[in-house]
Amino acid sequence: MARVSIGIDQSYSGCAIVHYDATSGTASEIFHDFSPKQAGTGTRRLLHVYAALRESFAAIERLGQITHICHEGYSYGSKYRREEMGELGCALKLALANQFPTHVERRIHAVAPPTVKKFVTGSGRADKDKIMLAVYMRWNYEPASNDAADAYALARIAEALAAPEPPELRFQQEVLQTIRKDVA
């Protein structure tokens, strides 16, 4: 059975999901357009987001054993659309909890944006272009977008949390220690 990890990068306008199969070393991307034009507004939009995420998670779950799931945590310094992002984050968390109820306590992780950057580049201050390049250089994976690059990095963090051996790079080990400390 395949060992699958999931990385999720949600934003106001959409959601990139990458599932990484550690058994084969392959990854696939899913992108959902959650813009108000596509998904509607208010409660209708939240229901659309929830249903789309549940459908994607169910499809991924059929691929193999889900080890860990990492999603990007909130960007607390953001000034715009904070309430809408909170609602979308809630829809994501509910979809995850309902699809993966046994993962909630110890295998679903919110990872702060600087932590994602550090895992990929060694620096928590890398810009989007550096993340894209580092994902390609480190793992030979060419993401379709910046959001997909973040989702891929999150999937690799999820896989590293499940792997029996720690990553070789010290800064990646530090990231995993931080995430594990937050769960304990």
User: Per-residue confidence at 75, pLDDT binned at 50, 70, 90?
Assistant: confident
Supply the range of the domain harboring residue 92.
Answer: 3-183
What's the total number of domains in the chain?
1
Asked if residues 71 and 112 have their Cβ atoms less than 8 Å apart, the reply is: no
Residue 91: count other Cβ atoms within 10 Å of its Cβ: 23
Question: What does each C-alpha distance from 76 to 81, 94, 127 come to in angstroms?
Answer: 11, 20, 17
Residue range 82-99, pLDDT digits in tens: 788 888 999 999 999 999
Reported as a single tens digit per residue, the pLDDT across 85-134 is: 888 999 999 999 999 999 988 899 999 999 999 999 999 999 999 999 99
Report which secondary-structure segment, H or E, holds 9.
Answer: strand 3-10
In this prediction, residue 77 carries a pLDDT of: 66
**pLDDT at residue 47 above 70?**
yes
| Tokens matching residue 91 | 């829809």
Calculate the CA dihedral of residues 147, 151, 157, 162 and round it to 10 degrees.
180
Report yes or no: 83 and 89 within 8 Å, Cβ to Cβ.
Answer: no
% the chain with pLDDT above 90: 84
Average pLDDT over every residue of 141-166: 96
CATH number of residue 144's parent domain: 3.30.420.10
pLDDT of residue 172: 97
Q: How confident is the model at residue 80 (pLDDT cuts 50, 70, 90)?
A: low
For residue 153, give Cα distances in angstroms to 7, 14, 139: 7, 17, 10
Per-residue pLDDT, 15: 96
DSSP letter at 14 equals E
CB 173 within 8 A of CB 157: no
> Is the predicted pLDDT of residue 182 greater than 80, yes or no?
no
Query: Among positive and negative, which fits the CA dihedral 159, 73, 151, 58?
Result: positive
pTM: 0.94
